[in-house]
Chains A and B, each alone.
Chain A
């Protein structure tokens, strides 16, 4: 399974890559929504995208909205990760097409729980 990690922090991308690779996912990285969409429009197919919200150029909300409206990588599951914990914000992310939501800070077990919920881990 291939995963795309989208976050503007190199440290966070590396950390998430370690966690995901540990449970057997093959990872690629993008630094913002714009770069993520460019990758998703390419030939590679992804099973899962871990998407930060606050990023320069294009944030996670815009990215997931465009992704779903364009019908790109249709079966791909999108897990949004953010410090935004307001219920209205979470609702908007789900309405735009995110499949699940994880609030920072989180533990590796929290991430694994979400992957189980999305049917990507047992």
Chain B
């Protein structure tokens, strides 16, 4: 990801300038350009990420997943009984776990399918959190229906932990949005939400290309409500369900 588009306010308010032993933004950006060791780049990435997320964020999207997209995918993949989902920029993991809960709750007949939901984020801090699947009261109060809480999370002291069966459906890794996911190709569904609006046009296009190269043809892409793939129409075709927009991957390696 390009470091030239860093928001100055965000960076100046964080200790990353101290980590880099710099006094100002210009010197920090210069250091990021020349210093290829991962430590400073990771510190800058941790400082820049916002990590806002919640369970079942944007209920309309989950409604469309349940009623339209997942049934189509289960029909299409019936022969190999396998499903691969990527929750990109997953933050603390609620999106990936919400999809797992949705599948467990509404499609119990798929219990023996090979289903894997991969959550990735550039911040190792949030990936650690996601892997543990432990949430505080303020997290479980946000968007999680009480019946789902009872069924898929277990109380442990002041926290709740996602059950083993739901955690077994999910895997989390630290990864740059614009990089390839090692060992993972052929995603049937990619959730790339509420992150593109923070990227430059160039990085947005790189993220779309990276996602497309790892998706099956005609697979599904879901963006945040305020995001569009208007600069990547060669890769994705927009589809509408009421006012809700989602995308399907066009065939071809780089359908330029």
Interface residues of A (CB under 8 A from B): 85-87, 90-91, 94, 100-103, 105-107, 109-110, 113, 116-117
Contacts and interface: CB of A to CB of B under 8 A. Distances in A.
A101 B146 contact: yes
Given A90-B150, A116-B59, A117-B59, A85 B137 contact: yes
B146 A94 contact: yes
A110 B142 contact: yes
Given A85-B155, A87-B155, A110-B142, 17 more contacts: A85-B137, A86-B155, A87-B149, A94-B146, A94-B147, A94-B150, A100-B146, A101-B146, A101-B149, A102-B141, A103-B137, A105-B137, A109-B142, A113-B54, A113-B142, A113-B143, A117-B143
Interface string B86-102: 00000000000000000
A90 B143 contact: no
A103 to B, nearest CB: 6
User: B interface, how many residues as a size bin?
Assistant: 10 to 19
Nearest to A119: B59
B145 interface: yes
Nearest to A110: B141
A87 B54 CA distance: 20
A101 B141 CA distance: 9
Nearest to A111: B141
B142 A90 contact: no
Contacts of B54: 113
A2 to B, nearest CB: 23
Contacts of A107: 138, 141
Contact of A91 (B137, B138, B150): B150
Contacts of A91: 150
Nearest to A94: B146
A87 B142 contact: no
Contact of A90 (B59, B137, B138, B149): B149
Interface in B196-220: none
B141 A106 contact: yes
B150 A103 contact: no
A103 B147 CA distance: 14
23 contacts: A85-B137, A86-B155, A87-B155, A90-B149, A90-B150, A91-B150, A94-B146, A94-B147, A100-B145, A100-B146, A101-B146, A103-B137, A103-B140, A105-B137, A107-B138, A107-B141, A110-B141, A113-B141, A113-B142, A113-B143, A116-B59, A117-B59, A117-B143
B81 to A, nearest CB: 32
Contacts of B154: 87
A90 B146 contact: yes
Given A86-B155, A87-B155, A107-B138, A117 B145 contact: yes
Contacts of B142: 109-110, 113
Nearest to A117: B145
List 8 tightest A-B contacts by C-beta distance, closest first. A101-B146, A110-B141, A113-B143, A106-B141, A87-B155, A100-B146, A87-B150, A91-B150
A43 B147 CA distance: 32
A68 B23 CA distance: 65
Contacts of A117: 59, 143, 145
